[in-house]
Amino acid sequence: MDRHLTQDDMPLFTQLRMTAFGHTVIELANDPAYDDWTFSQKILYAVDQENAARQQRRTQKLLKASRTPNPQACIEELRYLPDRSLNREVIGRLASGQWIDQAQNLVILGTSSVGKTYLAQALLNAACRKFYTARFFRLDDLANQLAVLDYNAQHRLDFLTDLHNCDVLILDDFLTTPITQETAAELLNILAARDGRGSTLVTSQFDPQDWYKTLHDAVIAESILNRLVASAEIIQLNGPNMRQYQHQHD
């Protein structure tokens, strides 16, 4: 049967959930620039395009589920300024995801506006691009969300299970402000459930030894500190005010 691929065939590819493959093979069939390509070259190229499109959709789904407020943040856009303590080798290693495979924690410390949150969001983006599951919360927002969920509700249990099981949990602005004893106890339960199973990344303006000041219970404070810091890699981020820098250079 003498039949030539055209755009009229796209509905079939869409029905087969091979949209990118369909667009590519139709382009290859109708562009004389590809006439010298072998059949295998054309098929492999189309398969590569379909695979790339599926990976992109999977990444976008993971980013949406992560609740990150800045899904576009990425390590490729990090600014390695001369007066900024940001190391390309360290970032490249963290972006590879090995720390996640090892269920290692990460603590990013630095003053306000030095770029801690963006770095955390960029590492989350890198994790999702390698198909890890991630969740992002400001600690205050997480505390508020837990406070409005009925203690015995199934929705609360499902929410906590999700926090326990994700590959990477990011807690931004960690203990910047005091938290209640109930929130501290819940936080300890979350960290205990994740211990050895998933990685937790926190950003904070304060050194870990200063976290005690925002916690009312010394025992809980010590337990939280041990769960987070004992096996954590600590990044001390120094440098200029990145909000001002961005404003001046946009």
Query: Does 117 lie in the same domain as 238?
Result: yes
Per-residue pLDDT, 182: 87
Per-residue pLDDT averaged across 195-205, rounded?
A: 95
Most confident of 108-112, 124-128, 181-185: 124-128
Query: Does 174 lie in the same domain as 53?
Result: no
Pick the residue with more confidence: 209 or 143? 143
Query: Does 18 lie in the same domain as 139?
Result: no
Single out the residue in 47, 65, 83 at which a domain terminates.
Answer: 65
Distance of CA 110 to the CA centre of its chain: 20
**∠ CA(188), CA(208), CA(105), 5° rounding?**
60
Of 42-46, 98-102, 176-180, least confident by mean pLDDT is 176-180
Q: Return the percentage of the chain with pLDDT > 90, whole number.
A: 58
Query: Does 105 lie in the same domain as 57?
Result: no
pLDDT band at 249 (very low <50, low <70, confident <90, very high): low
Q: How many CA atoms lie within 13 A of 47 on its CB side?
A: 6
Q: Does residue 170 form part of some domain?
A: yes
Q: Does residue 23 form part of some domain?
A: yes
Per-residue pLDDT, 47: 93
Q: In which domain, by residue range, is 173 found?
A: 70-249
Per-residue pLDDT, 43: 92
pLDDT band at 33 (very low <50, low <70, confident <90, very high): very high
Query: Does 162 lie in the same domain as 94?
Result: yes
Residue 171 has pLDDT above 90, yes or no: yes
Query: Does 243 lie in the same domain as 142?
Result: yes
Per-residue pLDDT averaged across 35-41, rounded?
A: 93
Residue 229 · residue 101 · CB < 8 Å? no
Query: Does 95 lie in the same domain as 218?
Result: yes
Q: Rounded to an integer, what distance in angstroms lies between the CA atom of residue 25 and that of residue 45?
A: 9
Residue 20 · residue 50 · CB < 8 Å? yes
Region of residue 195 (left: phi > 0; alpha: psi -120 to 50; beta: else): beta
Query: Does 153 lie in the same domain as 85?
Result: yes
Query: Does 107 lie in the same domain as 50?
Result: no
In this prediction the pTM is 0.85
Pick the residue with more confidence: 34 or 217? 34
- The per-residue pLDDT for range 206-248, each reduced to its tens digit, is 888 888 878 877 888 889 888 898 889 999 988 877 777 676 6
Sequence-distant (6+) residues with CB within 8 A of 119 are 78, 86, 108, 203, 235, 237
pLDDT band at 250 (very low <50, low <70, confident <90, very high): low
Name the H helices within 104-180: 116-129, 139-148, 154-165
Query: Does 220 lie in the same domain as 105?
Result: yes
- The per-residue pLDDT for range 115-130, each reduced to its tens digit, is 999 999 999 999 999 9
Sequence-distant (6+) residues with CB within 8 A of 72 are 125
Pick the residue with more confidence: 51 or 137? 137
Q: Does residue 2 form part of some domain?
A: no
Q: How many Å from the N-terminal Cα to the C-terminal Cα in the chain?
A: 59
The enclosing domain of 95 has a CATH number of: 3.40.50.300
Per-residue pLDDT, 213: 78
Q: Does residue 1 form part of some domain?
A: no
Query: Does 142 lie in the same domain as 59?
Result: no
Q: Kindly state the DSSP code that residue 177 receives in the 8-state scheme.
A: S
Per-residue pLDDT averaged across 120-142, rounded?
A: 97
Pick the residue with more confidence: 160 or 218? 160
Least Cα distance to 194 among 173, 167, 172, 221 occurs for: 167
